[in-house]
Structure 1
Amino acid sequence: MHQPIIDRSQFTESAALSVETITHVHHWCEGLFSFKITRPASFRFRSGEFVMIGLPGDNGKPLLRAYSVASPSYDEELEFLSIKVQDGPLTSRLQHIKVGDPIYLGKKPTGTLVTDALLPGKRLFMLSTGTGLAPFMSLVRDPEVYGMFEEVFVVHSVRNVTELAYRELLESRLEGDPLLEDEDRAKIIYVPTVTREPFRTQGRIQALIDDGRLFEQSKGPQRFVPDEDRVMLCGSMAMIKDHAADLEARGFEEGANNKPGQFVIERAFVG
């Protein structure tokens, strides 16, 4: 057994937090890793939501950050995708976790990157950069999504090819998924794009929208259509701001849990 990074005795359960256990860790590349933790029997969430996770801080109080759940809502474990920030208060320590280590989990998932915040449509475009892919990994494995849309795009933009987390799973159209039917998987259109080195698709997502490459695999219009298309955005603050402005200029209206619209962003991450 390895020596845990933090002794479990330093963790304190509360009305807002439970103490869970790391069950799996995968390092995708030098700056990106994912991990799974135990899931309390009472923990329920909607695909696309986020929750607080963390470790004890230096002052003894929990040091928490919001992380989107990457696992499907039916999974017995909870999965998260994280960058590694060497001087980050949390990720500088979180990146060294091992199987068996304890971790804090918030008890109240929430968020706006959910289908409840979207009006009915024909095509769903999930546009992400970096770890913004995480909530879409939950949504793309949700059978209900395929009952709502005819085509489901998973668009992931990164700087380097090694940062294309879950690439093999998405290229296989989630082969072996226990809940998706063949007709569900046939609706998946995976569009990975890389900005800093050679790859079959290169350039930022906006470039793919502007020159039409984003729509090449679609049976529908080769452009965004507000009456038919629904868009979810998750990534850097600058990416979300730019794409939201572009969508609004095209006639899209932002949705929320209490007022569904044609596109949604995660407000909690952009302030």
Structure 2
Amino acid sequence: MSDRAAAARILAPSDALTVETVRSVLHWNAHLFSFTITRPPSFRFRSGEFVMIGMPGERRPLLRAYSIASPAWAEELEFLSIKVPDGPLTSQLQRVRPGDQLFLGRKPTGTLVADALLPGRRLFLLSTGTGLAPFMSLVRDPDIYERFNQIVLVHSVRQVSDLAYRADLESHLAGDPLVQDQALLQLSYLPTVTREPFRTGGRIDTLIADGTMFRSPLTGPKHFDPATDRVMLCGSMTMIRALAAQLEAAGFAEGSNAEPGHYVIERAFVG
């Protein structure tokens, strides 16, 4: 069966999965795309959580955990994905079109949520690649601006074209119906590109070490301070493990839904 035939197959819901319809697809470049699907009326989630997305397989659905890129209030669910030519799921998923059907898990979960952090003044959202997705959910949610005075979203990628949502973030989410006013005053966007010329280069650890992370318009100390700062990490395991160790050495404690802390990672993805 061809990929298109598989995508067009009529799907049946189950106790664990609903069947949703693709609403839109945007290909950012040759290896990165985003898409939106319908949202069931009963589907509730907190901005920053992830859920299972899937397509039919030979014997059972092919499922993978995806962070939700849309905020908790949105009418549709949005996702950001890489394209893996021989990937069991993404080889098919990258070919979906509006009108195709997908499986959606009924139970979102995750730790990249505001509830897993202690109160603070500055929130740093540090991401690589598609690790940007949960942070797009958070920065489009009014709640995060009530919890933190300043929010810094860092996105590290290899190529300039990998900077998904760049125009939206550079405009401070201008036109967003709920957060444009808060984002203009409170959100800072710091994109960095490691393998092509760009105004900011270097990995996230370099931006921390040379102070770029803490430059104006950000106010406060030029380093991470557990008394005022909270951090979320999402992306490559190498980045997460290195920065988590750095934060721990600086006195930060990892948080969870059961016990909020100074920083959080998504354990389901890191292991």
Letter in 2 for 1:12: A
Question: Alpha-carbon deviation of 1:55?
Answer: 0.2
Question: Alpha-carbon deviation of 1:5?
Answer: 4.4
- Matched with 1:6 is 7
Letter in 1 for 2:222: Q
Letter in 1 for 2:188: I
CA distances 1:119-169 after superposition (whole Å, capped 9, x unpaired): 000000000000000000000011111111110011000000000000000
- Matched with 1:53 is 53
Q: How does 1:1-271 map to 2 (within 5 A)?
A: 5-9=6-10, 11-59=11-59, 61-180=60-179, 182-217=181-216, 218-271=218-271
CA distances 1:32-83 after superposition (whole Å, capped 9, x unpaired): 0000000001111000000000101122x11100000001111110000000
Letter in 2 for 1:242: A
Alpha-carbon distance in 2 for matches of 1:92, 1:196: 25
Alpha-carbon distance in 1 for matches of 2:259, 2:99: 42
TM-score (norm 2): 0.96
Letter in 2 for 1:58: E
Letter in 2 for 1:126: L
Alpha-carbon distance in 2 for matches of 1:12, 1:105: 11
Q: Which range moved further: 242-251 or 108-117?
A: 242-251
Alpha-carbon distance in 2 for matches of 1:99, 1:69: 18
Question: Alpha-carbon deviation of 1:180?
Answer: 1.5
Letter in 2 for 1:81: L
What stretches of structure 2 of length at least 5 have no aligned partner?
A: none
TM-score (norm 1): 0.96
How many equivalent residue pairs? 267
Alpha-carbon distance in 1 for matches of 2:16, 2:182: 40
CA distances 1:215-268 after superposition (whole Å, capped 9, x unpaired): 002111111111100000000111111111111111111000010000000000
Alpha-carbon RMSD: 1.0
Letter in 1 for 2:209: D
SS at the partner of 2:7?
coil
Alpha-carbon distance in 2 for matches of 1:184, 1:191: 14
Question: Alpha-carbon deviation of 1:185?
Answer: 2.8
Is the Cα contact below 8 Å between 2:7 and 2:92 reproduced in 1? no
What stretches of structure 1 of length at least 5 have no aligned partner?
A: none
Which 4+ stretches in 1 moved above 6 angstroms? Answer: none
